[in-house]
Amino acid sequence: MVEIKICGFKRKKDIVDAINLGIRWIGLNFYEKSPRFIEEKEAKILIENLPPDVKKIGVFVNPEEKKLFEIIKKIKLDGIQLHGNEPPSLLENFKKVFPEKILIKAIRVRKSEEVIKKIKHYKISDYFLLDRYEEDNFGGTGKMIDEKEIIKEKLPWHKIFVAGGISSENVKEVIKKYRPFGIDVASGVEIAPGIKDIEKIKRLIEEVKNAS
């Protein structure tokens, strides 16, 4: 089955509900301009005592390297997702210091040639995440990527998450189009930014199972 990653949690109850439904990829947002932003101390509480097979991923935008590494050590994240214009050197240093941790590089889709170029540019990444491009908006647009800007046969779909405006209503279409490794969802399973709806998560999982 296609992997499901749910991002932007702000309540422990929502994380526990999602895990009980089978979700094994959890995203916590450390980008201060995001409506789903959480402080370090909140994040630490949210991921305490979670099952060991749950992948706890921190979402960052153009972080300062020293600060990023401190957060990873302090909160014991299983990996990071970088949504900005980070230099490849940051990714390389991350892999040197934390070789066992997951590295996801988000790429905002604007032109197909740019997507291919950036995947090569950030080739050290374990996974990539394709999201909608909007000027000065680093993810969380709630809008789907432009299919016309994707050269599907040239991308490594076995290591790509698709994000942007995904919900139970359209997830089967997304999976049919791209056959990605996983999908990344936030607003599509929410009542409000950061507040998840268990019924929406259930419907999403069911539709992913049907599509797979």
Kindly report the average pLDDT of the chain as a whole number. 92
Of the pLDDT bands very low, low, confident and very high (cuts 50, 70, 90), residue 110 is confident
pLDDT at 115: 86
Least confident interval from 1-15, 30-44, 49-63, 129-143: 129-143
pLDDT at 132: 77
Nearest to 129 by CA among 189, 87, 181: 181
Tally of domains within the chain: 1
Contact indicator for 82, 101 with CB cutoff of 8 Å: no
Tens-place pLDDT, residues 116-158: 889 999 999 999 999 976 666 665 566 777 776 676 667 899 9
Contact indicator for 191, 197 with CB cutoff of 8 Å: yes
pTM of the entire predicted model:
0.94
CATH number for the domain harbouring residue 93? 3.20.20.70
Q: Which residues, 6+ apart, have CB-to-CB distance to 137 below 8 Å?
A: none
Task: Count Cβ atoms below 10 Å from residue 65 Cβ, excluding itself.
Answer: 14
pLDDT at 148: 65
Domain that holds residue 152: 3-211
Task: Count Cβ atoms below 10 Å from residue 30 Cβ, excluding itself.
Answer: 23
